[in-house]
Structure 1
Amino acid sequence: MTAEPAPSDRPLIEAFLEMMAAEAGAARNTLLAYRRDLDGASETLGGRLGAAAAADLQRLADEWMPLARATVARKSAALRRFYGFLHAEGHRPDDPSDGLPRPGMVRPLPKVLSHGDVEALFTEIERRREKALPGALRLAALVELLYGSGLRATELVSLPRFALAGDQPFLILAGKGGRERLVPISERARAAVAAHAADVPRDSLWLFPSGKKHLSRVRLFQLVRELAAAAGIPPERVSPHVLRHAFATHLLEGGADLRAVQMLLGHADIATTQIYTHVDSRRLVELVNSRHPLAERTLTDAPLANPPRIDGEPRRP
């Protein structure tokens, strides 16, 4: 059951969410997450969220104690932005967010699929296509776009029916915050999409329809995990997001520029890309040792700042 904010908090929460949508360009899922956290906090405090004092925030902290550290960090972050907005807009004279808990966040390294894992997934897809199993063409198109172009799950399932028209080698997507990005589509992916699209009704609004709507993210998640299990990979290691991460990681391993990968993924901040596209540190060491201009020079090749003086020879400046 969804929490409801008290009447006294509702207009403040609505104003904050409007600001996040209009000025910060927050995506729909982000706004829904903020709403859930703020509504829940309002209900806990009996409608005193907007006017919360230190004791109220301590009450929230006590309420959150059994929750996972990541969950507490997310809730605290939502309330900090909320109180920052209230203070900036003059709805309250202070910002009490220092009283919110600050759990130490250790961001886990993303799950990584090896090239062998990806090969196993596509081998299983090809087996299904050769046997003309139901859903094989759709699954091939989905995985080609996830791994071959790095699409987010929401972007993928909501693609319009004619998103890939003719020989167009790219898509223009509006990602998080409404930011547009150009996404190159490989020949393989275009061929897979074309084969799948032949079975999609021409009057469908979606490239991946399901009933009157498009395929859901939950169903996409299930399809990818079922594929992983059939390919002999532990299903918990594979998801649409993991395939997006494999797209970026394998590009970097192949020598792609980090800025280029940032653009392909649609990240506003390259710091996100640096975490998301974790590369084995051994490869980075090898890269410096093999590609740096000084890599082929030995210490004896470099001129010395103070070369030894030969008797009778003046020291060079």
Structure 2
Amino acid sequence: MSLMKIYGYFIFPRSAVLKIAGFSANFSTTLSTRGERKRQVHEPRKPLSQSLIEGAQVPDRTPFDVAKHDIGLEGAGITSTAISEPFTLFHRRGNRQMRAGIFSRPVLEKYQVGSDLATNMIRGYCPEYSSYIYDAWNSPALIPAMDVDIGHVNISVRDDAAAAREPDSDADNKPAFGWHIDSYAFVCVTMLSDCAGMIGGETVIRTGTGEVLKFRGPATGTAVIMQGRYIEHQALKAFGGRERISMVTSLRLKSPFIRDETIIRPLLPTTPKSTLHYQYAEYRLENLEERVRHQLKVMRQHKKANRDFDVASTRKFLLGEREFIDAMLEELEDP
């Protein structure tokens, strides 16, 4: 199942589900003499226009080729889906609430930072200064990686002089933010800017063969899900507008049994060290605790069934957890 399908399901309006259910219930049905339920098929009420049919034709009908959708990173990541198409996540009123939160004076005074990747970022303000954003990303359907990375905001703004100039011929390829990989498995990137008249703003990824692929720029309130930890990517500059403001929330899988390769050292220059270390250690140790409890449960079940103690599987479990702990020690190392 693709990410688009998963997240499409989560944000699908309940009313629409009810309408679909109601639609299926409105089919005319009859009962056969055997008591079996069968549909009565109706002819279309109006024929389709010939222009519609002819416009859908193509010179060559080709089979679907999965290789065309492969970015050449076999073995990387934790799912075969690399990136989704933009999908609507927040309506305009929701966007306005989020912008009001991130551009409030207390947030700007305390949580505005910069780095080599972006000159202006806002991060670490949830939940204290924006319960709206915090609650939006803590839906039961979502598992944010850590509170400190809920609603991270990247801001690219052009000054008046730059906005008045037309973009040069190479403008399409100029980045708003440089090439990078993310610290967490998944990121959800949401566009908070008004995209009317905007040109560009695409997400660009680098494939396993070094090829660069562009993905359609999002519209206001739309989002993209990407395995940012495993895909080198960047955002291109947008022209025709004064700003490109995107919100990035990092997500992790709910299951503690799936590989977790989170790294936090790149976040230290823009995040309070104590907060970052605590939240990282807390969720990782919670996952470790759950795996240990599961291993104990399996061992006890085998004991009750009078089975011999499985040394090989226990050693395999412990070696895996030692790698997990070693990775934590590396991330928590003092600079």
TM-score for the superposition, normalised by structure 2: 0.24
Larger radius of gyration: 1
Higher strand share goes to which structure?
2
TM-score, normalized by length of structure 1?
0.25
In terms of fraction of residues, the more helix-rich structure is 1
Determine which structure has greater relative contact order: mean sequence separation of CA pairs < 8 Å that are 6+ residues apart, divided by chain length: 2
